[in-house]
Amino acid sequence: MIQPHLPRTNPAVRSSPSVSSNNLINVLNVVNVSVSIVGPAGRGLRSAASAAARFMPIQGGAKPELFTAGTDTSTSTVEWAMAELLKNAKSMTKVRQELVTEIKQSFPKNSHLPQLPYLQACVKETLRLHPPAPFLLPHRAFASCEVMNYTIPKDAQVIVNVWAIGKDPMIWEDPLQFKPERFLNSTLDYKGNDYEFLPFGAGRRICPGLPMAAKHVPLVLASLIHFFDWSLPDEIDPTELDMSEKFGVTLEMEQPLLLIPKVRK
């Protein structure tokens, strides 16, 4: 993804290990460690990964926005998922049981993901309730058209409110409830073909980071749950967790999630 955009006039740049094909993997490993170990210690899940990407040296002309756009949205999704699972103990128990059955004592890998349907359902339910980009990115109508008796003039800016779509009671049963079960035995997916569920957008302007997020977010979440028990500071009851939202380009928790980890035996 990055290699084609690197300068080709300097042979030294092409041969440098710092811009090898493993560079993106190394970046993701740094972000993964930051989320799993640094974040829960009291800084909030999203801050550590964002800082890791923001201050990481970018080699060969690759744009920093490529990394910050992916880390902010991914870490906010992991943060919301952890908050929802803490608040819904039955769902957390089901995820743990699934991980113990399928992964046992090993580390979560890409090959495990197809065997973790409930974990995947939790990620989808989190994206429905808390889409990382609540209004996606602005679109432009390249020609005048009519949609449901509304005329959309040429060059009009179009904002898609996926946050509201995900909470529409005409589409979803109990739309404000965290119910991963709604995605089990369902073909509903976030790849842009189901217009009631568009956390990554659709069509030619669909989020280019979707393939990475589809693997990275479940793996981070699985690692956090599989290897640690989590509690709130000051013995706060998880059911009283503040789920207020802070709207922006990305949808974040108004009060960053602070958790205390305990290594699972």
For residue 230, the model assigns a pLDDT of: 95
For residue 130, the model assigns a pLDDT of: 96
Residue 85 makes CB contacts below 8 A (sequence gap 6+) with 91, 92, 95, 122, 225
Q: Bridge partners of 145?
A: 152
| 238, two tokens | 């998880």
| 94, two tokens | 């089901």
Tell me if residue 263 falls in helix, strand or coil. strand
CATH of 3-263, one of 1.10.1370.20, 3.30.1360.70, 1.10.630.10, 1.20.5.440: 1.10.630.10
Instruction: Give the 3-state DSSP-derived string for 69-109, with helices as H, strands as E and coil as C.
Output: HHHHHHHHHHHHHHHHHHHCHHHHHHHHHHHHHHCCCCCCC
Q: How far apart are CA 196 and CA 20, in angstroms?
A: 40
For residue 106, the model assigns a pLDDT of: 82
For residue 70, the model assigns a pLDDT of: 63
- Identify the segments of the chain with pLDDT beneath 50: 1-62
Residue 189 makes CB contacts below 8 A (sequence gap 6+) with 124, 197
Q: What is the pTM of this model?
A: 0.75
154 close to 141: Cβ distance less than 8 angstroms: yes
Angle ∠(44,49,51) on CA atoms, nearest 5: 95
Q: What's the DSSP call for residue 60? A: T
pLDDT tens per residue across span 49-85 = 443 333 344 444 445 555 556 678 899 999 999 999 9
For residue 97, the model assigns a pLDDT of: 95
